[in-house]
Amino acid sequence: MAKRELKYPTKYPKKTYNIGDDNPSWKGKSASYSAVHKWVNFWKGSLRQCEVCGTTSAKKYEWINIDHKYRRVLDDYIRACTSCHRRYDYKFLKG
């Protein structure tokens, strides 16, 4: 993976950090559930609209993992409000 430049106010020097496989703390496939969600939020950002129902007035938005395998595939995650996320997971568990 490429290095990502973090932007700071002008009084601080620009820094680059090792991202992905270049980072010595990288766990790859053995990363925890929360680590994968933090990774998704880092790369996809924090949208303020549910991609399921379209609401923009929810108090909280979460990432839905479409296939429930929690891999590091950005296209496998969609942003949803909490209620849509619960309904999605309930349908998955019911089969």
Of 24, 18, 71, 58, whose CA–CA distance to 79 is shortest? 58
What's the pLDDT at 37?
83
Question: How large is the average pLDDT for residues 30-41?
Answer: 84
Contact (CB, 8 A) for 41 and 63: yes
Number of domains in the chain: 1
pTM > 0.75:
no
Higher pLDDT, 9 or 50: 50
Domain hosting 71: range is 4-94
Of 40, 26, 94, 50, whose CA–CA distance to 72 is shortest? 40
Higher pLDDT, 63 or 25: 63
- Choose the weakest-confidence range: 4-8, 24-28, 47-51, 73-77: 4-8
